[in-house]
Chain A
């Protein structure tokens, strides 16, 4: 009898061991698949960009980056981001504030409208601006009369970028602000703070990590945007070429090393963005 029970125990223990083993295998299988997928589709291409860029030596690499057209493309990209990101930050905070802290009719419609740049293809976003401001467009004749150029020039690029990157900050802030409600602001006001004091001393510190996160993503997209900018820019070298457009031109000219060298800048931007992003996430979790 004892023996039989002992055997049963032994069998049960063995079964339990197998179950643990199976669970471990399942876990590592899932992690393995995810890692393999990541490596194949993200890491390898990223490495390819850098290896291709540096294939013919550092000298050629830096030459490709310091060539006048490349420099002007970099400058234009920085300028575009420098205009688009602050605008989207300010209006993003205003829009998120309005949506999160007030009740009004048409709130859902407004929230949906904010998502349009995400829902629509960037090419269409670009075309919309051509239709509005292009010489054949609705306001084209008036603009031409006053000698204002929007399409195929810098203002068009900035406009298209603003359009495409608008949702990043708002989307990030709405849930945070909704979560926080209005009590802290009301408390601040009841303690004698002015509206601005309440915003800068109470609201802003509460949303700062979310805001930073939104701004980083917005900046990454503003610098990397291709579709919408491509439609409105006209690809004039040294004039209306942003970094992504410059990469395409070089690539189409079979100038692979230079193309990859410039592309590596964008890849680097992506990496830096990701590092800052995870740092922000880590910080905001700590608070």
Chain B
């Protein structure tokens, strides 16, 4: 089912949680609402579900106005961050709940319910736990059961509120794959909320980056990552170094007409470190080396200033560079500094992201 969100706003006792959001979600899409806490992403999800009522705007399901429909009428599957499983029911009873509360004439027979529940438990690979209670399950298992329960009523839209937020890193990784697979299998329109940019980039086909109640950018993972609309999106989607004032001028000679207060941004892997000075490099001092994992992160300090940056090298590049320890002086090239013209209105939605890429060579 396709969802259209037209100019939707919601205010909680004078705090605007969602401001004039327009969003088109086609049937079968996998959409991530990404943003920091307080950005309104959960509120938007709850507005779609009908768990909150909106102040203005419209929500259409398949072109039909659903703005004033109740949660029940919308027939969405909703998965809560903290699972919200029914504590006093077994896993089987939890999953079958949505079928059992149907009016008699629409209710499947006991046998059909049982078949359906076991089919879903097989889908989430937890068949053997049917007779357990939620308190006997791990967090990851509970979340899978919560999903099975939501799918039992055959919703046409699946909404997930920070589905993996309460789980540890390893389980989260597994469940991401698994959810992606389920989406491919069932091809059900899915919207999920997350504050984890990695999760959004990895799972969704469309990312809605939200900040302060507004949709700052809507696009595919490639679009939002490589062509961020503004400084907020750029910094939120990965590690970033900010260069301001003298540091910016020193590293980007070509940018001459910079207005005051404008800042440049550079990703750690775009900083190139050499032991011998190059034409456009500036001397830096190493203040910390973090060499665990597939990449090596080196914290550097611009000599003669108090600005710290983080550079990221692949292990091969690090080997090429030779050993580096705290206090060494290196020469850094700042490639691909990105300056956003509209930086000072970074909280406003952008129509014309005049991005300026200031490469040094």
B-contacting residues, A170-227, CB 8 Å: 183-184, 186-194, 197, 201-202, 205-206
B49 at interface by CB-CB < 8 Å = yes
Mask of B71-102 contacts with A, CB within 8 angstroms, 1/0: 11001111010101111100000000110011
- Assuming the contacts A187-B84, A206-B87, asked whether A192 and B78 have C-beta atoms less than 8 A apart, the reply is no
Measured between beta carbons, the chain A residues less than 8 angstroms from B149 are 187, 191
Measured as residues with beta carbon below 8 angstroms from the partner, the interface class of chain B is: 20 to 34
Measured between beta carbons, the chain A residues less than 8 angstroms from B80 are 183, 186-187
Q: Are B88 and A192 in contact (CB under 8 A)?
A: no
A-contacting residues, B47-79, CB 8 Å: 49, 51, 71-72, 75-78
- Assuming the contacts A183-B84, A186-B51, A202-B86, asked whether A191 and B76 have C-beta atoms less than 8 A apart, the reply is no
Instruction: State how many angstroms separate the Cβ of A213 from the closest Cβ of chain B.
Output: 16
Instruction: State how many angstroms separate the Cβ of B74 from the closest Cβ of chain A.
Output: 8
- Assuming the contacts A186-B51, A201-B101, asked whether A194 and B72 have C-beta atoms less than 8 A apart, the reply is yes
Instruction: State how many angstroms separate the Cβ of B12 from the closest Cβ of chain A.
Output: 10
Q: Are B98 and A192 in contact (CB under 8 A)?
A: yes
Identity of the chain B residue whose Cβ is nearest the Cβ of A204 in the assembled complex? B88
Q: Are A192 and B153 in contact (CB under 8 A)?
A: yes
Cα distance A190–B82 when bound, in Å?
15
Identity of the chain A residue whose Cβ is nearest the Cβ of B79 in the assembled complex? A187
B208 at interface by CB-CB < 8 Å = no
Measured between beta carbons, the chain A residues less than 8 angstroms from B78 are 186-187, 190
Count of A interface residues, CB-CB < 8 Å: 17
Identity of the chain B residue whose Cβ is nearest the Cβ of A197 in the assembled complex? B101
Q: Are B77 and A192 in contact (CB under 8 A)?
A: no
B191 at interface by CB-CB < 8 Å = no
B3 at interface by CB-CB < 8 Å = no
Instruction: State how many angstroms separate the Cβ of A103 from the closest Cβ of chain B.
Output: 9
Instruction: State how many angstroms separate the Cβ of A211 from the closest Cβ of chain B.
Output: 13
Cα distance A97–B149 when bound, in Å?
26
Identity of the chain B residue whose Cβ is nearest the Cβ of A190 in the assembled complex? B78
Q: Are A189 and B82 in contact (CB under 8 A)?
A: no
Identity of the chain B residue whose Cβ is nearest the Cβ of A103 in the assembled complex? B13
Q: Are B101 and A192 in contact (CB under 8 A)?
A: yes
B117 at interface by CB-CB < 8 Å = no
Cα distance A188–B149 when bound, in Å?
10
A4 at interface by CB-CB < 8 Å = no
Taking each of A184, A188, A192, A206, which has the highest tally of chain B beta carbons within 10 Å of its own beta carbon?
Answer: A192
B-contacting residues, A87-110, CB 8 Å: none
Measured between beta carbons, the chain A residues less than 8 angstroms from B76 are 190
A283 at interface by CB-CB < 8 Å = no
B150 at interface by CB-CB < 8 Å = yes
Cα distance A197–B84 when bound, in Å?
16
A287 at interface by CB-CB < 8 Å = yes
What's the count of A-B pairs with C-beta under 8 Å? 61
Instruction: State how many angstroms separate the Cβ of A205 from the closest Cβ of chain B.
Output: 4
Instruction: State how many angstroms separate the Cβ of B45 from the closest Cβ of chain A.
Output: 12
Instruction: State how many angstroms separate the Cβ of A190 from the closest Cβ of chain B.
Output: 4
Taking each of B80, B84, B102, B146, which has the highest tally of chain A beta carbons within 10 Å of its own beta carbon?
Answer: B84
Taking each of A187, A190, A287, which has the highest tally of chain B beta carbons within 10 Å of its own beta carbon?
Answer: A190
- Assuming the contacts A183-B82, A194-B101, asked whether A206 and B153 have C-beta atoms less than 8 A apart, the reply is no
- Assuming the contacts A183-B80, A197-B101, asked whether A190 and B71 have C-beta atoms less than 8 A apart, the reply is yes
Question: Which of A184, A186, A193, A287 interacts with B101 by CB under 8 Å?
Answer: A193
Cα distance A186–B98 when bound, in Å?
12
Cα distance A187–B86 when bound, in Å?
9
Measured between beta carbons, the chain B residues less than 8 angstroms from A197 are 101
Identity of the chain A residue whose Cβ is nearest the Cβ of B93 in the assembled complex? A201
Measured between beta carbons, the chain B residues less than 8 angstroms from A206 are 87-88
Q: Are B49 and A184 in contact (CB under 8 A)?
A: no
Cα distance A194–B84 when bound, in Å?
17
Q: Are A205 and B102 in contact (CB under 8 A)?
A: no
Cα distance A119–B75 when bound, in Å?
48
Instruction: State how many angstroms separate the Cβ of B40 from the closest Cβ of chain A.
Output: 19
Q: Are A201 and B97 in contact (CB under 8 A)?
A: yes
Q: Are B72 and A189 in contact (CB under 8 A)?
A: yes
Q: Are A192 and B84 in contact (CB under 8 A)?
A: no
Measured between beta carbons, the chain B residues less than 8 angstroms from A183 are 80, 82, 84
Measured between beta carbons, the chain A residues less than 8 angstroms from B51 are 186, 190
Instruction: State how many angstroms separate the Cβ of B88 from the closest Cβ of chain A.
Output: 4
Identity of the chain B residue whose Cβ is nearest the Cβ of A189 in the assembled complex? B71
A-contacting residues, B201-245, CB 8 Å: none
Cα distance A194–B103 when bound, in Å?
10
Instruction: State how many angstroms separate the Cβ of B59 from the closest Cβ of chain A.
Output: 15
Measured between beta carbons, the chain B residues less than 8 angstroms from A192 are 72, 75, 98, 101-102, 153
Measured between beta carbons, the chain A residues less than 8 angstroms from B49 are 190
Mask of A143-184 contacts with B, CB within 8 angstroms, 1/0: 000000000000000000000000000000000000000011
Measured between beta carbons, the chain B residues less than 8 angstroms from A202 are 86
- Assuming the contacts A202-B86, A206-B88, asked whether A188 and B97 have C-beta atoms less than 8 A apart, the reply is yes
Instruction: In the A-B complex, list the 10 residue pairs whose CB atoms are closest, starting with the nearest.
Output: A191-B98, A183-B84, A187-B84, A193-B101, A190-B78, A205-B88, A197-B101, A189-B71, A184-B84, A190-B71
A-B contact pairs, 16 of them (CB 8 A): A183-B80, A186-B84, A187-B85, A190-B71, A190-B72, A190-B77, A190-B150, A191-B97, A191-B153, A192-B98, A192-B102, A194-B72, A194-B101, A201-B86, A202-B86, A206-B87
Task: Please give the residue numbers on chain A whose beta carbons come within 8 Å of chain B beta carbons, in ascending order.
Answer: 183-184, 186-194, 197, 201-202, 205-206, 287
Q: A188-B101, A205-B86 are in contact. List 16 more A-B contacts (CB 8 A).
A: A183-B80, A183-B84, A184-B87, A186-B80, A187-B78, A187-B85, A190-B51, A190-B78, A191-B152, A192-B72, A192-B101, A194-B101, A197-B101, A201-B86, A201-B101, A202-B86
Task: Please give the residue numbers on chain B whose beta carbons come within 8 Å of chain A beta carbons, in ascending order.
Answer: 49, 51, 71-72, 75-78, 80, 82, 84-88, 97-98, 101-102, 146, 149-150, 152-153
